[in-house]
A and B are shown apart, each in its own frame.
Chain A
Amino acid sequence: MTAVTERPRTTGAAPAPVTAPPRRRVSPERVAAGLTLVALLVASLVALRSVDIDPARMLQSWANAERFFGRVGAIEFPPLGELLQLTALTLGLVICGTLLAAVLSVPVAVLAASNTTPGPGWRAAARFVTVLARAVPDVVLAMVFVLLFSLGTLPGILAIGLHSVGMISKLFADAIEQIDEGPRTAIRAAGGSRLQQFTAGVLPQVLPSWVATVLHRNDINLRGSVILGYVGVVGLGMEMSFAFKSLDYGLGLGYALVIFVLCVVMEIVSSSVRAAMLGIAPTGRGLGDRVVRRATRRRGAGHPAPSRPAITTVESALRRPWDRARRRDVSWGWLAVAVVVASIAVCDIAWSDLVTVWAKVPAVATQFWPPSFGSYEASTMVAAMGETIAIALAATVLTLVASIVVGSLAARNVAPSRGVRSGMRLLLVGIRGVPEVILAIVLIVVTGLGTQAGTLALALGGVGLLGKLLADSFEEVSPGPERALSATGASRVQVYAGATLPQGTRALIGHTFYMLDTNLRAATLLGIVGAGGVGYYLLNASQGSNYGTVTAIVLMILVTVLAVEGLAIWMRRVFR
């Protein structure tokens, strides 16, 4: 995993002399990046010690857990009508937020993508928006918007909408940069304007990926809506936080279970949508794909291929036949419209608030500015931030180790048998389905309040994401070298070590940094439920109306997140 293992590559245009192959030079930058990686690894191990994960104490506290679950008694649910209404509200709010983000992301992505941006200045500005949106946690946005709008769905929609722009616009821009430029050039060559090139040449190419991105983000937002409930965003999350705060654990866990099931159902739905609408074959990545594949297989056998209606004259061709493709497109189109309309309807958005809110902005702004640590010592806050960073680092290294094992076994080309692979994939999906907050809440009960719960929650939850990413990356490596090694008689493990792993190393570094990035953001938030770090102070400050302190903490988080982001960008560039 060090810097120096990279495939040799000749640089420069001059043909190298045949007799003396040039020795690959390791640039100082690569050395520095390699050393940074090592330093990070060491820091992670130190962090791992500092969050004192103590198996002995965990066993001890198992008694706690038993007592706790004894006290919980049976898991309770609210009345069905209320539950359905809350579920609809949560889904509607999340969908509206994600859609808002998608709409806002289009111009940002177009400006940020290297092949569509009008100039480097625009590009830098768009990227700044992306990074900033990602760096400000949606919980913080929600705190601000709750203050501005008091009640209703708008705070949640806006918080999700603005924060998600970071990820969505980034992925939108990536999709734009990956298009085949050929069709666009052809339209340019035919005299199409920039806008026409975009709508006719770029949009059709990126649309499947864009839709997949939005669906994916919608899943993430649904999970994130739990924690938004803690700061006053309506929906299932808020009811759950109320239940826990009033020590009604049975009801709280009931809500947690509902949210978990909802997340899994949404994943199945978005997988079906991707499969059916976009023609992306369900390749068995997740539980959703699995279900969809089975269902379509059963259905597919009965259908004879419909014969194409004969088009013989231009006149008859002017009317598009109602063939299967058209029926499918139209029904999906209307279904999408229906979902959007229903979501907006269920949210019952107080549109007038969007106008009146501006009057409140100056007053709220003065509450948030200037930043100050208020009654806290600066050193306490810095230590808390340090604790958050330690949680993120420790969780990442734990996740990495576990994910290499699970992710490898979940990769088609590594797993010793289909059974193992399916089992591991199922495990990954299962882990991903559990919102980290719920994991943290349960772990707090087991291990007590503090960093240990947060670290384990992130580490466990992280396996779901990193394991999946690694498995996918391993499956995507070029099969040539693997076959070549097998042909020489290498064993499975040798093929894995000699061909699969080296090819996946770059992805591994990239994904791990992504994980660190994600964990850092999550670590700040988990403190809100009592899992250690700066988040606890964030919630305290917000509930005590010390908004200057909120600003100060957010600024600390921003600086840290941006530093990690910068580090990740640098690493990706060096290890390209």
Chain B
Amino acid sequence: MNPHTAPAETVVRLEGITKRFGETLALDDASISVRRGEVVVLLGLSGSGKSTLLRHVDGLERPTDGRVTVLGREVTELTGRALRRLRSEVGFIFQQFELVPSLTVLENVLTGSLATVRGPRLGLWSYGRAAKAEALARLERVGLLDRAYQRADTLSGGQQQRVAIARALMQRPQVLLADEPVASLDPESSDQVMALIREIAADEGLTVICSLHQVDLALSWADRIVGLRHGRVVLDTETEGLSKAQVMEIYGRVATSTDQMAAIELELAGDAVR
């Protein structure tokens, strides 16, 4: 929200990430870096590599080639507990919420704290009282305290996403990744959830990388917009001073699938990055 603060340290840096799934090239030499407290919105068609890029930040995918550095640690080098600890410092919000449907809301939130405990957990009784109190406080934060003991699948989509946000907060993250967090919601819940994410990100001073497809939302929230196409970063620009028309034009280019645009795009993207 605040692009004019002094340049902060870089907390997420992707350098020349290439990712192949068999024959498919999901990411093609993609590089971005994000400073602490910055809000970056990823734009692009589905299949452009947004999700794959986000999953690399959390170490859910290993790059075929390239380096991922998050919070000063080389993600590609991490394994075991160290990797789990890093993941716990990075919250992830999914398009499909990804709650365990048959567990209570509270237990779903508690799964956000698994990295801090040893051994398996099943059932509310297996978590400590302090963890429970914290989880309930997170639920209060997202306005769903009264639903704590309901099954997660009895909630509406918007409520489920709020539970997922509470779960991410339970990790006490420094970085928040969100993969199309409102794409599966109706417009009203979408507004509520988006407002909640923005509010929480601002309050907690989170570094945010979020993929979206609402351009005006991206414009009003993001400090920077990154456009992806066919796994390539084709645009990386500060939103400061951009008009909606300009962004629409950019988005149009990002979202166009005709090949003729590629050359122009590269050129303009080069300008935009400055």
Q: Mark B148-171, 1 if CB is under 8 A from A, else 0.
A: 110100000000000010011011
Cα A203 to Cα B122 with chains together (Å): 9
Cα A188 to Cα B164 with chains together (Å): 14
* B102:A205 contact, CB within 8 angstroms: yes
Total contacting residues, chain A, CB less than 8 A? 37
- Give the residues in chain B near A190, CB-CB below 8 Å: 87-88, 91-92, 111-112, 114-115, 167-168, 170-171
* B122:A199 contact, CB within 8 angstroms: yes
Q: Mark B53-95, 1 if CB is under 8 A from A, else 0.
A: 0000010100000000000000000000000111110111010
Any A CB within 8 A of the CB of B43 = no
Interface size for chain B: under 10, 10 to 19, 20 to 34, or 35 or more residues?
Answer: 35 or more
Chain A nearest CB, measured from B262 CB (Å): 19
* B102:A191 contact, CB within 8 angstroms: no
A contact face: mostly helix, strand, loop, or mixed: helix
Chain B nearest CB, measured from A211 CB (Å): 12
Given A185-B98, A195-B120, does the pair A318, B60 have CB atoms closer than 8 Å? Answer: no
* B87:A188 contact, CB within 8 angstroms: yes
Any A CB within 8 A of the CB of B247 = no
Q: Mark A315-348, 1 if CB is under 8 A from B, else 0.
A: 0011011010110000000000000000000000
Any A CB within 8 A of the CB of B271 = no
- Give the residues in chain A near B164, CB-CB below 8 Å: 186
* B100:A204 contact, CB within 8 angstroms: yes
* A311:B145 contact, CB within 8 angstroms: yes
* B111:A189 contact, CB within 8 angstroms: no
Given A182-B96, A311-B146, does the pair A189, B114 have CB atoms closer than 8 Å? Answer: no
* A191:B145 contact, CB within 8 angstroms: no
* B87:A186 contact, CB within 8 angstroms: no
Chain A nearest CB, measured from B159 CB (Å): 14
Q: Mark A159-203, 1 if CB is under 8 A from B, else 0.
A: 000000000000000000000101101111111110110111101
Chain B nearest CB, measured from A66 CB (Å): 56
* A188:B60 contact, CB within 8 angstroms: yes
- Give the residues in chain A near B92, CB-CB below 8 Å: 186, 189-190
* A191:B88 contact, CB within 8 angstroms: yes
Cα A90 to Cα B120 with chains together (Å): 36
Cα A312 to Cα B147 with chains together (Å): 10
* A189:B102 contact, CB within 8 angstroms: no
Chain A nearest CB, measured from B143 CB (Å): 12
Cα A479 to Cα B86 with chains together (Å): 47
Cα A312 to Cα B139 with chains together (Å): 11
Any A CB within 8 A of the CB of B142 = no
* A314:B137 contact, CB within 8 angstroms: yes
Given A190-B114, A192-B115, does the pair A207, B102 have CB atoms closer than 8 Å? Answer: yes
- Give the residues in chain B near A208, CB-CB below 8 Å: 102
Cα A321 to Cα B101 with chains together (Å): 20
Any A CB within 8 A of the CB of B20 = no
Which among A185, A196, A308 is the interface contact of B120 at CB below 8 angstroms?
A: A196
Chain A nearest CB, measured from B88 CB (Å): 3
Any B CB within 8 A of the CB of A13 = yes
* B114:A205 contact, CB within 8 angstroms: no
* B84:A193 contact, CB within 8 angstroms: yes
Any B CB within 8 A of the CB of A301 = no
Cα A308 to Cα B150 with chains together (Å): 10
* A186:B103 contact, CB within 8 angstroms: no
Cα A540 to Cα B63 with chains together (Å): 64
- Give the residues in chain B near A205, CB-CB below 8 Å: 100-102
* A189:B145 contact, CB within 8 angstroms: no
- Give the residues in chain A near B151, CB-CB below 8 Å: 325
Cα A185 to Cα B99 with chains together (Å): 10
* B87:A189 contact, CB within 8 angstroms: yes
Any B CB within 8 A of the CB of A310 = yes
* A308:B114 contact, CB within 8 angstroms: no
* A183:B98 contact, CB within 8 angstroms: yes
Chain A CB within 10 Å — which of B99, B120, B139, B164 has the most?
B120
* B99:A308 contact, CB within 8 angstroms: no
- Give the residues in chain A near B99, CB-CB below 8 Å: 183, 186
Chain B CB within 10 Å — which of A188, A207, A314 has the most?
A314
Chain B nearest CB, measured from A306 CB (Å): 13
Cα A554 to Cα B129 with chains together (Å): 56
Which among B24, B115, B122 is the interface contact of A191 at CB below 8 angstroms?
A: B115
Chain A nearest CB, measured from B58 CB (Å): 5
Which among A187, A203, A323 is the interface contact of B149 at CB below 8 angstroms?
A: A323
Cα A191 to Cα B146 with chains together (Å): 27
Any A CB within 8 A of the CB of B30 = no
Any A CB within 8 A of the CB of B206 = no
* B145:A314 contact, CB within 8 angstroms: yes
* B24:A187 contact, CB within 8 angstroms: no
Given A182-B98, A190-B88, A192-B84, does the pair A199, B149 have CB atoms closer than 8 Å? Answer: no
* B140:A189 contact, CB within 8 angstroms: no
* A186:B167 contact, CB within 8 angstroms: yes
- Give the residues in chain A near B24, CB-CB below 8 Å: 13
Cα A208 to Cα B97 with chains together (Å): 22
Given A200-B100, A200-B111, does the pair A310, B146 have CB atoms closer than 8 Å? Answer: yes
* A201:B120 contact, CB within 8 angstroms: no
- Give the residues in chain A near B124, CB-CB below 8 Å: 320
Q: Mark B201-236, 1 if CB is under 8 A from A, else 0.
A: 000000000000000000000000000000000000
Given A13-B23, A195-B119, does the pair A187, B96 have CB atoms closer than 8 Å? Answer: no
Nearest residue in B to A278 (C-beta to C-beta)?
B102
Cα A205 to Cα B99 with chains together (Å): 11
* B133:A318 contact, CB within 8 angstroms: yes
- Give the residues in chain A near B98, CB-CB below 8 Å: 180, 182-183, 185-186
- Give the residues in chain B near A308, CB-CB below 8 Å: 146
* A314:B133 contact, CB within 8 angstroms: yes
Chain A nearest CB, measured from B241 CB (Å): 35
Cα A142 to Cα B1 with chains together (Å): 73
- Give the residues in chain B near A13, CB-CB below 8 Å: 23-24
Chain A nearest CB, measured from B222 CB (Å): 22
* A200:B146 contact, CB within 8 angstroms: no
- Give the residues in chain B near A201, CB-CB below 8 Å: 100, 111
Chain B nearest CB, measured from A293 CB (Å): 22
- Give the residues in chain A near B167, CB-CB below 8 Å: 186, 190
Given A191-B87, A205-B102, A308-B146, does the pair A317, B136 have CB atoms closer than 8 Å? Answer: yes
Chain A nearest CB, measured from B49 CB (Å): 16
Chain A nearest CB, measured from B171 CB (Å): 5
Cα A113 to Cα B183 with chains together (Å): 32
- A-B contacts, 22 listed (Cβ < 8 Å): A180-B98, A182-B98, A183-B99, A186-B164, A187-B111, A189-B87, A190-B88, A190-B115, A199-B120, A199-B121, A200-B100, A203-B122, A204-B100, A205-B101, A311-B145, A312-B146, A313-B145, A318-B129, A318-B132, A318-B133, A325-B149, A326-B149
Task: List 10 additional A-B contacts (Cβ < 8 Å) besides A311-B145, A318-B132.
Answer: A180-B101, A189-B90, A191-B87, A193-B114, A200-B121, A204-B100, A205-B100, A208-B102, A314-B140, A317-B136
Task: Report the 3 A-B pairs with minimum CB-CB distance, sorted nearest first.
Answer: A191-B115, A191-B88, A182-B98
